Amino acid sequence: MMLATTDRTQEVYPVIFIDAIRVKVREGTVTNRPIYMALAVTVEGMREIMGIWAGEPGDEEGAKYWLRVLAEIRNRGVKDTLMVVCDGLKGLPESIEAVWPDAQVQTCIIHLLRNSYRYASKRDWDALRRDLKPVYQAASEADARAEFDVLAENWGERYPTIVRLWDTQWATFVPFLAWDIEIRKLVCSTNAIESINARIRRAVNARGHFPTETAAMKCIYMALMALDPTGTGQKRWCIRWKIALHAFETTFPDRLGIDTNR
């Protein structure tokens, strides 16, 4: 099941984020069901929710599922995107390449950080955050590896799972270091999607669990429709967007088809 939340699609978007939130659905037994959301940022810096899709029980989504999801977005007029930021969802990178061959797929640093904190005691989050920040803000892979070695030395004994997590994901993390600093800031920023997820979680948690998948989707849809009624959040985001837009236009020349000097 898919619900579109905007019809104002552009032909090209600088970046699309794909994220998931889990809800409890009671259909016979209570199961954790992923609901996926695609959030796009326009060339003007506006955030648009492209749609929400119900996942399969047990995380059974694969390339066929993601091809259908991305084809729905493309068929609504989205011919290209410069970058898709997503977690390691099975079949998604291959599907992105099939639908938008020129799009760059970037592992979501937000998810990598979130998963790191999941393995740590909350009292260590601040200290862990201070040691992680130099890794993903490093100027080069060599600098990042040096900072990672410091992280491993400081936390490897207490939290070996966190060190293994980054070591395992290193190959997909490293391309992130090649991006312009403004693009990296955007990819790392939790503001784009985390504030939206927080509102959705409040609405979902207030219900506990849902009798059907449709009920869960409607709850999330209504929460999205109630976001930022005054437009203040969008205005703040747009103010910060201009610098990032120049970085995208420099990194991906002629892809957006705009004049950044206007």
pLDDT in tens, 174-224: 888 988 888 887 777 655 677 787 888 889 988 888 999 899 999 998 988
CA distance linking residue 45 with residue 14, whole number of Å: 9
How many whole angstroms separate alpha carbon 185 and alpha carbon 86?
A: 15
Average pLDDT over residues 120-139: 94
Q: Indicate the residue type of 202.
A: R
Q: Is the pTM of this model over 0.85?
A: no
pLDDT at 1 over 60: no
Domains in the chain: boundaries: 2-251
Query: What's the chain's average pLDDT?
Result: 86
**In terms of pLDDT, which residue wins out, 42 or 5?**
42
